[in-house]
Structures are given as C-alpha cells and as structure tokens.
Amino acid sequence: MKARYGAALLLSMAGASAYAATYSVIVSGLGGEPAYEQRFREQNATLAEAAQRLTGDRSKTIALSGDKATRDAVRRELGALAGKVNADDDIIVTLIGHGTYDGEEYRFNLPGADITATELGTLFDQLGARTQLIVNATSASGAVVERWKRGNRIVITATKSGGERTATRFAEHWVKALSSADADVNKDDIVTAAEAFDFASRKVADSFKADVSLATEHARLEGQNASRFQVARFGTAARVTLNPELNELFAQRVRIERDLDAVKERKPTLAADAYYDELEAVLVRLALLQKQIDAKQGQGYDDAKGNGDAHE
C-alpha cells in the first residue's frame, strides 16, 4: 500500500459507506382468480427472502400483497421511503401481477383503485437513491419504459410494449433467478440485474418453444450498469444473521463490493496510475471493514442459523 494513504483518510473512506443500504419494495397486485392470487403471494414472499439475503437487513424490505397491496399503501410506503433513503443508497421496486394499457395510461391492478404509471413515476422520482432498479413484471408493462427512464434508473419490463397484454411468465423466472443460483453465470455467488434479466428472458422464450406456441411477451431492459447492480446473493456471500450490528456490516460490504466493480468497469477510461490508486483505495476500505466483521464474529455471536436463512 502506498504511504500517502494515511490512517485518518482510510478510516474516513471506510465510514463513507456506513449509511449506504439497499431497500427493496415488492408489490403483488390483483390476481383475478385464486390460482393467480396464490402465485403472486408466493412470488412476493420468495422475493422478500431474496432481498433479505442480499442485504442482511430485514428492515430494508417492504412487501405488500393481497388486501394490503392497495393504491394508498403503495403511495404511503414509497412516500415514507423517500424520506429515509440517502443519496448513496440503492432501491429495488418490483411489481407483480396484472397491468392494463388503454393507449394513453398504464394501470397496475390493485385491490380497490388501480395506480397509474404517472403516479408511480412521480413516486419513483422522489426516491433520492443513487441507483434505482424498477422491475415491472406485469402484462402491458412495456408501456411504462419511456415514462420511467432516468439516468440513475434501470427499468425492466416483462413486455416490450403496452400491446402485449396476456398474463406474463416473466415474474416466475425472475423470482427463480433471485431465489436460486441458476442465473449466476460467473459462479461468484452474486446475481446481477443483467444476469437475472438474461436468465428470465431466456426461460420465458424456452417456455413458449416448449409449448409450441407464439410468444406473447418480450422483456425489455433499459438503463446503465445492470451488469453490476446486485439483486441476489448466495452461499457465503449471503449473510442474514441474528445480530443487527453484524447485518449492518455485511450490508456495508455489499456496498463496497459494488464500488469495487465500478472501478474495474472504468479501467479502460483511466490512466494506469489512477486506476490502481482507485482500486487500492476501495480494497483498503474492504479490508478495514472485513476486520470489523471478523472482530464482531469473534465476540461469539451465533451466525450459524443466519447464513442465507431469512426465516429466523
């Protein structure tokens, strides 16, 4: 390590990520019939577990389903979240269910009054997170892409346009991508938004081929950095413990690992010295944090039950 990295600077840099977090909001809307209602509830619950494995912090996950997934509840939860998030935070919003499009406005079908793309877009714009991932897995979801696109936002939709109105299969395979390691292409125990999207899109296409039927949905991904936006973690990378302080440290580690990926992605645009300086700085932050994690684990906290288990 170069001498110019003083202890005070390193500690300051390590603390910079202390308040960074990943928040997840999962909303499953009306099913219209019992089979869909059950499917949407199960998908909601599975995604909530995946979100908890990702961050190690259950309090950062908001899941609304069934009668609780009303327009007022969605507005309330997203509004409250806007007052909590920091500029360095990340947010994942996932919509599961049915959507409609009348040629002018998209509507997400919820118990009681539906919520429109315009309303949702306004709520998303109020979320001051560094990066947002919005996954709309409903029918007609492609209608929202142009309205929701922003420089800091990745938008994934189950359909390419509002004209694809048949009940979608995308959610089933997106949930599979986040709840198993099948989508982990490079086998690093981390699934990115790009990996999950590629997996789900491929599985949807395969399902239509298996049915010997014409595909009625074609997923879209718009936005930058999907290849480094983490959506799931497994194995030793997934840590949900019984100790909230340790959970917070694991959440910080996720954040620093993302920063490391960002530096590596910028390598072609940086001079060699600048690249290695930035790389070294992030690695030092990671090493300092790992020392805190090791010390906390050495205090005798029971971590055995929490390794990837969101039910504890």
pLDDT tens readout for residues 165-205: 999 999 999 999 999 999 999 888 889 999 999 999 999 99
- Return the pLDDT at 294: 86
Cα–Cα distance measured from residue 251 to residue 270, given in angstroms and rounded to the nearest whole number: 28
DSSP secondary structure string for all residues of 221-252: EESS-TTT-EEEE-GGG----S-HHHHHHHHH
> Which pLDDT belongs to residue 300?
57
Mean pLDDT of the chain: 87
CA distance 81 to 87: 12
Q: What pLDDT score was predicted for residue 19?
A: 45
Identify the segments of the chain with pLDDT beneath 50: 1-19, 302-312
By percentage, how much of the chain surpasses pLDDT 90? 66
- Sheet (strand 131-136) strand order: 61-64, 22-28, 90-96, 131-136, 153-157, 220-222
Encode pLDDT of 31-81 as tens digits: 888 999 999 999 999 999 999 888 777 889 999 999 999 999 999 999 999
pLDDT, residue 213, reads: 94
Look up residue 82 and give its amino acid.
Answer: A
Q: What is residue 249's predicted lDDT score, i.e. its pLDDT?
A: 81
Q: How many CB atoms lie within 10 A of CB 22?
A: 25
One-letter amino acid for residue 270 of the chain: L
pLDDT of residue 248: 75
- Residue 262's SS3 state is helix
φ, ψ for residue 219 (rounded to 5)? Answer: -70, 155
Helix pair 34-55, 170-179: axis angle to 10 deg: 30
